[in-house]
Amino acid sequence: MDNFLDKIFFRSRNLDYISQNLKNLTTQTPAKRIFEALNTYSKSSEVRYVGGCVRKVIKKETVDDIDLATNLVPSEVCDALKRQNINFYETGIQHGTITAIIDDYKYEITSLRKDVSTDGRHAKVEFSSNWKEDAARRDFSINSIYSDKDGNLFDPYNGKKDLESGNINFIGDSENRIKEDYLRILRYIRFFINYSNQSHDLNIIKKIKKNIGGVSKLSSERLLDEFKKLTKSNAFLKIFNDKISLELIEIIFPQLKNLENFKKLNSYAIDNLSKVDFIFLLSLLIVDGSDNTDYFLYKFNISKKDQKRLKSIDFFYKENVSIKIFNEKNFNKIFYYNGKQTVIDIINYKLFTSSKVEKKLIKLIETYNYKVIPTLPIDASTLMTKYNIAEGKMLGKKLKLIEETWVQNSFQISEKQIQKIIKS
């Protein structure tokens, strides 16, 4: 009876672009293999699109990831995938998530769930076969829209209507949903900035501020990952015209000292902001000539490679930097010893943070984009055989001096210069 009522009240058979594009998602990607594997596993088994991919189809956005929900438990999902020779790994099996891999596509498949207990950071879940129970535990109505392979929607909380009218509505009591997982505060900001056509509900903002201290319970990885999603969204710059959202971000991330600077970006920065990666964007937010970058790296766990990038930019701009030093000769040393990425980051930082667009910097970036780190034209064996220098500390010292001279002279060195170094 429940399934029958679901079909009457909560499914919508659309023949418009939504239905067609969801159907295309099935027929034009390997997703069809997932549907075949899970829908045929048993008489009652079913899998549906859910969350972001459905939301993006409705809003005519590019679908860059596909999440699926199923009434099978994780062990059954694994069995179904094995039967069809579909590779997978157990992403978060304790929470019911399996990631299937077909060609270059990844599909997160999560079993229907209901929350048993929550602590603001983690939820203890129990698997369910009830689609409405699964929808009820989701945060916002716009994230509780499901679709079968043919584009028929199951939308128990009117998420499609909220998307189309620009309303960001919590499912159930907003304060309870926030307390279940404090990351929902950041998610609220992201969805509001991207989809709202309305003013903030001040009652919701009051509850968010009341509970914002709970964010401290969250891991730095989850916080940073959600902030990354916000910065990479198409509407990121809208946040700087939204006083309430900006205030909440400043409370959650006090290390982002340069947020105000984003209100006055030059034309180059505005045009290229969506093209830069997250680590460089972080540099624009945290590098300020103080110890703020070190504090940020202490608070947030990022890779050593990314730490090195941020530290290189920070170190360079702790000096009194003049536009006059931005030329190829001065940057060759950084290029040779620290690599292309460091040079481009440093120049780009200046380009993004200057009040006017410096065309010489754009040309300098173009130069280094095509520049290849050269190889020192002389080595230790040459010094030993040609100049009769014995192996040892003196050999290393002479070679280092030759290398430094070569770098300083734009990767050129004469025989006369080499002999002078050897004789000194």
pLDDT band (50, 70, 90) for residue 4: very low
Q: For 176-208, what is each residue's pLDDT tens digit?
A: 999 999 999 999 999 999 999 999 999 999 999
pLDDT at 241 (0 to 100): 92
Q: What's the whole-number average pLDDT of the chain?
A: 90
Q: What does the domain layout of the chain look like in residue ranges?
A: 1-172, 173-253, 254-373, 380-423
The pLDDT of residue 12 is above 70? no
Beta-bridge mates of residue 110: 69, 97
pLDDT at 144 (0 to 100): 95
Which of these CATH numbers, 3.30.70.20, 3.20.20.140, 3.30.460.10, 2.60.40.10, describes 1-172?
3.30.460.10
Average pLDDT, stretch 37-54? 95
Backbone angles phi, psi at 109, to 5 degrees: -115, 120
Beta-bridge mates of residue 66: 107
Of 91-105, 188-202, 338-352, 390-404, the one with minimum mean pLDDT is 91-105
The pLDDT of residue 131 is above 90? yes
**Cα(116)–Cα(129) distance, rounded to whole angstroms?**
15
Q: For 16-44, what is each residue's pLDDT tens digit?
A: 889 999 999 999 999 999 999 999 999 99
- Counting Cβ atoms within 10 Å, is residue 231 exposed (0-12), middle (13-18) or buried (19+)? middle
pLDDT at 14 (0 to 100): 44
pLDDT at 388 (0 to 100): 85
**Cα(424)–Cα(97) distance, rounded to whole angstroms?**
68
The fold of 173-253 is Hydrophobic Seed Protein (1.10.110)
- Residue 291 neighbours by CB distance under 10 Å: 11
Q: For 247-296, what is each residue's pLDDT tens digit?
A: 999 999 999 999 999 999 999 999 999 999 999 999 999 999 999 999 99
pLDDT band (50, 70, 90) for residue 116: low
The pLDDT of residue 367 is above 60? yes
pLDDT at 134 (0 to 100): 94
pLDDT at 1 (0 to 100): 37
What SS3 string covers the chain?
Answer: CHHHHHHHHCEECCCCHHHHHHHHHHHCCCHHHHHHHHHCCCCCCCEEEECHHHHHHHCCCCCCCEEEEECCCHHHHHHHHHHCCCEEEEEEHHHCEEEEEECCEEEEEEECEEEEEECECCEEEEECCCHHHHHHCCCEHHHCCEECCCCCEECCCCHHHHHHHCCCCECCCHHHHHHHECCHHHHHHHHHHHHCCCCCCHHHHHHHHHHHHHHHHCCHHHHHHHHHHHHCCCCHHHHHHCHHHHHHHHHHCCCCCCHHHHHHCCHHHHHHHHHCCHHHHHHHHHCCCCCHHHHHHHHCCCCHHHHHHHHHHHHHHCCCCCHHHCCHHHHHHHHHHHCHHHHHHHHHHHHHHCCCCCHHHHHHHHHHHCCCCCCCCCCHHHHHHHCCCCCCHHHHHHHHHHHHHHHHCCCCCCHHHHHHHHHC
**Cα(182)–Cα(176) distance, rounded to whole angstroms?**
10
**Cα(191)–Cα(225) distance, rounded to whole angstroms?**
15
